[in-house]
Amino acid sequence: MIPAAFDYAAPASLEEAMALLAGHPDDAKLIAGGHSLLPLMKLRLATPQLLVDLGKIPDLRYIEEKGDHLAIGAMTTHYQVSISEAVRRRAGLLADSAAVVGDMQVRNRGTVGGSLAHADPASDLPAAALALGAQLVARSRSGERVIAAADFFQDIWTSALEPEEILTEVRIPFQDGKAQAYEKFRQRAGDWAIVGAAVSVARRNGTIDRADVILTNVGPTPVRARAVESALQGQPVSPEVVRAAAEQAADGLDPAPELKASPDYKRHLARVLTRRALERALQIS
C-alpha cells in the first residue's frame, strides 16, 4: 500500500493550478478530498507523476445564491452542503444526497467537485446533479465552459472534462416548490449505494407537471428512469399513481452483477427505492 513515487504541488490559485495541468497534460491528477484517488494510488492502479492539490486554493469553497441559481464551489465539502440552509431551501435534493455520502469522515473531507469529477456510478451526487438539472463549470487556460449534468457523465469513471480542465463550480437552478428526495439502499451505514433513487417532482394544481427520476449504481452512469417520468407526467398526485409509475423503474435496466447484488435484485431495489423516494418527497405513503 505504498504509492509509486510522484511529485506534489499545492498551488495557491486557480491560475497556477491550470498552468500546472497544462504543463502535464497526460500524467497529472487533481486531488481534492482524495478518498477515491489515494486508494487507487496505494494499489498502484493509478500512478500519476504529479498530484495537484486544490486544497490550498481559497476561492473554491462557497455556497452562494445568485439570481436564479445556487453556485457551489467545487471544493465545498459534502458536510458543508448537507448543513447549508441555502441548499436546504433552494435545492433540497442535494442536501438530502450529500447527507448520506459515505460516513462522517468522508463527508468532512470529500468534496462536491471531486465526487462529480470522479464520475463513479455508485456515488450519490451524480444522480442528484442530473435530477436537479445542474450545470457544471469547467475552466482551463483556454477558457471556461458550462456543461449540463446530462452531458457530463459519459461512462464509468469518465466525465466530459478534458485533461487540462478543472471543475470549479456547480450551478443548480432554484428548485423552489419541487418535491424531492434521495433514497439510498446500502448494507451498512457508510457504504456505497447498492442502488439509489433521486427524485424531483414539480406540481401544478395537484397534478404532476414534470418528474425527474435518476437511479444510482444501475449502469455505467447515473440512469434516468424515463418510463417512470412519463408515467407520472400529467397525473394527479396519488399513492396509486406513484405505485404504478415506480413499477416501471427497472424498465430497460441492465445493471452489472456485483458481489453484494445480482442484476435482478438491483432491478427490484430500483422499483422499491423509486416508490419510496416518491412517497417521501410527496409525503404520501
Partner 1 sequence: MATESVIGQWVRREDGERKVLGRAVYAGDLRVPNLLHARLVLSPYPHATITRVDTEAAKAVPGVVGVYTAEDLPLVPPDGLTRSRDPLARDRVFFEGQPVVAVVAESEAIAEDAAGLVEIDYEPREALSDPVAAMENTHVQVHDSEALGLRDDAGAHTSVSEHTQQLPMPPNGTTAERYQRGDIDRGFAEADAVVEHTYNTSWVYQGYLEPFSVVAIPDNAGNIDVHSSTQGAFFVREEVAKGLGISERRVNVRTAEVGGAFGAKYAVFDPLVAALAWDTKRPVHLTLTRTEDFLAGVPAPGITMRVKTGARKDGTLTALQATIIVDTGSFPGGTAGIVALLLGGTYRFPHMRIDAYEILTNKPGCGAYRAPGAPQACFAIEGQIEELARTFGLDPFEMRLKNAVVEGDSMPGEETWPRIGSREVLEALRNHPAWQNRHQKGPGEGVGIAFGGWPGGTQPASALCRLNDDGTLTVVVGSSDISGTRSGFALLAADAFGVGYDAVEVADAPTDTAPFAGAAGGSKITFTVGSAVRQAAEEARRQVLAIAADELEAAPDDLEIVDGQVRVKGVPSSAVSLERIAALTTGFGSKHGPILGSGRAAPDDAAPGFIAHLARVRVDDETGKVEVLDYVAVQDVGRAINPAGIVGQIRGGVAQGVGWALLESVVYDESAHLRTSSFMDYALPSALEVPQIDPVLVEVPYPSGPLGGRGVGEPPVVGGAAAIANAIYDATGIRPTDLPMTPERVLQALSQRSS
Q: Which one of 12, 43, 148, 256 is in contact with partner 1 (CB under 8 A)? A: 43
* Cβ 71 vs Cβ 105: under 8 Å: no
User: Total residues contacting partner 1 (rule CB under 8 A)?
Assistant: 22
Contacts of residue 134, defined as CB under 8 A and 6 or more positions apart, other chains included, come to 128, 148, 149, 170, 171, 172
Closer CB to partner 1, 5 or 66, in the complex: 5
Under rule CB under 8 A, residue 153 binds partner 1: no
Contacting partner 1 within 172-191 (CB under 8 A): 185, 187-191
What whole-number distance in Å separates Cα of residue 159 and Cα of residue 153? 5
Contacting partner 1 within 77-96 (CB under 8 A): none
* Cβ 112 vs Cβ 97: under 8 Å: no
Under rule CB under 8 A, residue 269 binds partner 1: yes
Closer CB to partner 1, 171 or 276, in the complex: 276
C-beta pairs of 25-34 under 8 Å, 24+ apart in sequence: 25/163, 25/164, 26/163, 28/52, 28/163, 30/54, 30/117, 30/166, 31/55, 32/74, 32/75, 32/110, 32/111, 32/113, 32/114, 32/117, 33/77, 33/106, 33/109, 33/110, 33/111, 33/114, 34/109, 34/114
Q: Which one of 105, 108, 142, 262 is in contact with partner 1 (CB under 8 A)? A: 262
Q: Which one of 121, 192, 231, 277 is in contact with partner 1 (CB under 8 A)? A: 192
Closer CB to partner 1, 154 or 262, in the complex: 262
Closer CB to partner 1, 19 or 38, in the complex: 38
Q: Shortest distance, CB of residue 150 to partner 1, whole angstroms?
A: 29
Closer CB to partner 1, 226 or 260, in the complex: 260
Residues that bind partner 1 (CB under 8 A): 1-2, 4-5, 43-44, 103, 185, 187-192, 259-262, 265, 268-269, 272
